[in-house]
Structure 1
Amino acid sequence: MAARHRVTRPRRRRRVLDSVLFGVGELLITAGLVVALFLVWQLWWTGLDANAKAQAIASDFTDTQVESPNVEGTRHYDDPPEMTPVNYGEVIGMLVVPKWYGVTNNNMPILEGIGADVLDQAAAGHYPDTQQLGQLGNFAIAGHRRTNGNSFRRIDLLEEGDEIIVATRDTWYVYTVTGHKIVEPTDVDVIAPVPDDPGAAPTERMLTMTTCHSLSVGEWGNDHRWITHAKFAYWMERAEGRPASVLSDEGVN
């Protein structure tokens, strides 16, 4: 009997250990599936939903725009019209980035505000405390780089001299990129009227785009910010035509 007990106990311990390991394995598999489903939802489904919202906003806004003939318009280098402020969540205009043609959304709503309810609509959001279009200072906007439409995903493609355009109801505002940098999230001076010199009085019209730096799923891009600055170049009346850089872009109205 004693010998039989010595044989049985190790087998029982082995069965218990196997059961524990099997249970742990099932928990890990389940956890992996949950994480995978979350990533699919976060990276894919939120994008579909956000893009649908952006398209609806763009369609409604397009109906209010002055028709712009598909010919190059007259460049005006004097002071541009100053944009009248709009309420939170309302449309300022459409963001057009010719460098993004065929790569990502190239006719993106710019809404007032930077709350999640604004940015999660695959839109760019205007920092309310920064200048309006046409004013001296810094018209600063934010957008997601990953999830909810990936609005600024390809911001890394922008190089010095590339155009960034804001199309309002009756005007094209054209800026050219001056450069970019990576900063800490606490570096808010990048959206000052004179970027990085908050005490200075502005003498130029700037546009600043801000977004997360990293595209890594592991980092989620929250450690640093990608900043692209652009300087106002000229403006056009929509009724006169459009910038040459968007004549071939069928997605821009």
Structure 2
Amino acid sequence: MRVPVVHRVPVVHQQARRRRARYARLLWNGAEILVTLGVVLMLLVVHQLWWTNRQAREGAERKVQALQREWEGEGDGGGEGDSAGGGSVSDRGSTSPGDGDGDSDGDHAGGGSRSAPDSASATNPGPRPRWTQAYAILTIPRLDLRVPVAEGISKANVLNKGYVGHYPGTAQPGRDGNFALAGHRNTHGEPFRYINRLRRGDRIEVETRTAVYTYVVDRTLSQTSARDGGVIREIPRSTVRPSYGYSDPGYYLTLTTCTPEYTSKYRLVVWGKLGSMRPR
């Protein structure tokens, strides 16, 4: 006689089922949160690296065109960027390099005679520009760069608009001393992103209402402290790396920006000397 086989049916405990369901919901909710955070971060990166650049570049290009039309239409008359006063003191910035990589040529201090082209010394610099107002155009042929220069280094009112900012208290274009500028290296138009590619002998033009000044790149300081105010002094010389800079008066141009890229820990500095001037 056959003995019947009894098949045991596994018993699933309701409590264990509910526990697994809770774990599944937690995992699902956690995955949704992570995906949402990822999308938000991606949008922030796109905004910073693409949208701010697009907006700032378009605005800077419009300002360059507006300055050119203004100068062509008014000749030697006064304009928006050549009037005294205006703006708040808080927009004037500091005397340390602002948004200030390149390979240093290792040159030591020296050079920079105060002699300048005769025509440059005869040029009338005009009234002091108003704070945050664009009053000149910086052109760097090697970098295919053409960007407005505004007074002051305020991030909100100058640098984040894609402009290059003039350090208050430093010389104006074509004048004896140090015409010092700051610009973003990344985001907001990033006009100074590739100034590490500049080499000795490259031309840099600064166009104002009355004249075009041509500076010639002379030296590069690949990295210095963000507080190295010596690089923008009248006779520029690094206080952090004193072997970089000059010891004689002259007609200097200084470009500063952040380094390494996507950080603001250090500053990159490029120096040039005035080579020539031509009236507009």
State the TM-score bracket (shorter-chain normalisation).
Answer: 0.7 to 0.9
State the distance in 2 between where 1:153 and 1:232 align.
23
Partner residue of 1:41? 47
1:164 paired with 2:204, answer yes
CA-CA distance at 1:12 after TM superposition: 3.0
Partner residue of 2:234? 193
Structure 1 residue aligned with 2:180, among 140, 156, 164? 140
Q: Deviations over 1:9-61 (max 9, x none)?
A: 44433322222122111111111100111111111111222122212211221
Structure 1 residue aligned with 2:28, among 6, 15, 22? 22
1:53 paired with 2:59, answer yes
Partner residue of 1:178? 218
1:90 paired with 2:133, answer yes
CA-CA distance at 1:62 after TM superposition: 0.3
The 1:165–1:111 alpha-carbon spacing in structure 2 relative to 1, beyond 3 Å, is same
Structure 2 residue aligned with 1:150, among 166, 190, 194? 190
State the distance in 1 between where 2:137 and 2:54 align.
19
Partner residue of 2:96? none
State the distance in 1 between where 2:53 and 2:165 align.
17
State the distance in 1 between where 2:276 and 2:149 align.
19
Partner residue of 2:154? 115
- Unmatched 5+ residue regions in structure 2? 1-9, 74-115, 240-245
Secondary structure of 1:203's aligned partner: coil
State the distance in 2 between where 1:36 and 1:19 align.
26
- Higher-Rg member (1/2): 2
Q: TM-score, normalised by structure 2?
A: 0.71
Structure 2 residue aligned with 1:207, among 246, 249, 253? 253
CA-CA distance at 1:83 after TM superposition: 2.3
Structure 1 residue aligned with 2:268, among 226, 241, 246? 226
Kindly indicate whether the alpha-carbon contact (under 8 Å) linking 1:113 and 1:127 is maintained by their aligned counterparts in 2. Answer: yes
CA-CA distance at 1:207 after TM superposition: 0.6
State the distance in 1 between where 2:238 and 2:226 align.
17
Q: TM-score, normalised by structure 1?
A: 0.78
State the distance in 2 between where 1:197 and 1:54 align.
31
Secondary structure of 1:183's aligned partner: strand
State the distance in 1 between where 2:66 and 2:236 align.
34
CA-CA distance at 1:214 after TM superposition: 2.6
State the distance in 2 between where 1:19 and 1:229 align.
61
Kindly indicate whether the alpha-carbon contact (under 8 Å) linking 1:112 and 1:126 is maintained by their aligned counterparts in 2. Answer: yes
- For the aligned residue pairs, the C-alpha RMSD in angstroms reads 2.3
The 1:146–1:40 alpha-carbon spacing in structure 2 relative to 1, beyond 3 Å, is same
- Unmatched 5+ residue regions in structure 1? 68-75, 239-253
Counterpart amino acid of residue 166 in structure 2: H
